[in-house]
Structure 1
């Protein structure tokens, strides 16, 4: 009876006007299965860090939208600027400093957009400093930052999302949860691997891929087992495929670091774990 009540409470979070007793019974039955896996509850600190990351992600998105719109306004008026946020920033500063460039309402609009851009930069930088402080004071995050390609953002996001990694039985489970493993399509008994599944935490997956792309050149040159593995992959696979494979590797290494509570050792990192 108690399990049935729990099932009804779990189901109630969906659509109260469409509660189905059989669905509730199925949930309660599943909860009694010995192999059922449950999501670990996050601590207040993990929830706080996740909230900070979500706010930063929103601000970065707003800044990207703003700079794209700013570039489009200038392009419509015949001013083409090279790609890159820094180049756009320098060009806008130079244009606004030129008294002969544009006049009237559009010039004021560009100045207002530039001020909004600067405000977003300040807010993002303030959050970045906060993440640095969080990583400095958290032992798990400090250990994660010893991994090449895992910076302060990646480390704090990992700690907030997976804690000590105890929710995953193996390192490969974390990579699969992040959607960094190939999708498998099997027909006629013949398995075929497709692109990555892109399931799980999109924000964390994106951070890991960016970190892997930044770390790939130096890691591929290193005289380690990991470096040899990357060099062999680069010969056989497209560079973007190697970046994703390295991101999966970084996630698996991160799981080992979290579970064993030990810093990263390059000489011990291999292609399998």
Structure 2
């Protein structure tokens, strides 16, 4: 009852702004962006966990995921004596494999986003300097072709 009342109230208000339903493509791109972002968060979290555990052992890695990728294989190498136990080296190796797998997933999502960003609106957005497939597709999935907005201010407030 309350929902129906709210809808009826919204219809009679002239200043009410209505949002168009997203297309299937926009929903697909949105899903890809959400899943890609989750992979990024997981990869960053795993990297920080590894750095934190290594700090407990007195091994300090510089900030940045590239340092983790570069340093881990040397640390879990069974041939190198670095004061780490065999169990911890095994744990580091498993965590490294998990990071590599997350990276593969992230690359797959990025590739799919690039494929879907061949939509006409995305290609036009990519003609703007500094806007690539990821930003263009994110904008497209959020605002569509932009026809329902009066100006840029209306887009930014949505």
- With normalisation by structure 1, the TM-score equals 0.54
Residue of 141, 160, 166 corresponding to 2:141: 160
Q: CA deviation at 1:27?
A: 3.6
- Check if 1:125 corresponds to 2:98: no
Which secondary structure state, in structure 2, belongs to the residue aligned with residue 167 of structure 1? coil
Q: CA deviation at 1:105?
A: 1.7
Residue of 112, 118, 140 corresponding to 2:121: 140
Question: Aligned partners of 2:68 and 2:114: how far apart in 1?
Answer: 27
Question: Aligned partners of 1:142 and 1:120: how far apart in 2?
Answer: 28
Question: Aligned partners of 1:117 and 1:141: how far apart in 2?
Answer: 31
Aligned pair count reads 156
Which secondary structure state, in structure 2, belongs to the residue aligned with residue 154 of structure 1? helix
- Check if 1:81 corresponds to 2:61: yes
Q: Residues 220-259 of structure 1 correspond to what in structure 2 (within 5 A)? A: none
Q: Which has the higher contact order (CA 8 A, sep 6+)?
A: 2
Which secondary structure state, in structure 2, belongs to the residue aligned with residue 40 of structure 1? coil
Specify every segment of 5 or more residues in structure 2 that has no aligned partner in the other structure, as ranges: none
- Name the structure where strand makes up a greater proportion of residues: 1
Residue of 14, 19, 25 corresponding to 1:45: 25
Moved over 3 A (4+): none
Q: CA deviation at 1:168?
A: 1.4
- Check if 1:29 corresponds to 2:9: yes
Pairwise CA RMSD of aligned residues? 1.6
Which secondary structure state, in structure 2, belongs to the residue aligned with residue 56 of structure 1? helix
Question: Aligned partners of 1:156 and 1:89: how far apart in 2?
Answer: 29
Specify every segment of 5 or more residues in structure 1 that has no aligned partner in the other structure, as ranges: 1-7, 12-23, 178-273
- Check if 1:66 corresponds to 2:46: yes
Please name the residue that 1:239 is paired with.
none
Question: Aligned partners of 1:134 and 1:30: how far apart in 2?
Answer: 35
Which secondary structure state, in structure 2, belongs to the residue aligned with residue 140 of structure 1? helix
Q: CA deviation at 1:34?
A: 2.3
Q: 1:130 to 1:25 in 2, by over 3 A?
A: closer
Q: CA deviation at 1:87?
A: 1.6
Query: What is the CA deviation profile of residues 31-68 of structure 1, one whole-angstrom value per residue up to 9, with x for unaligned ones?
Result: 22222111110011111110111111111111111000
Query: What is the CA deviation profile of residues 68-90 of structure 1, one whole-angstrom value per residue up to 9, with x for unaligned ones?
Result: 00000101100011111112211
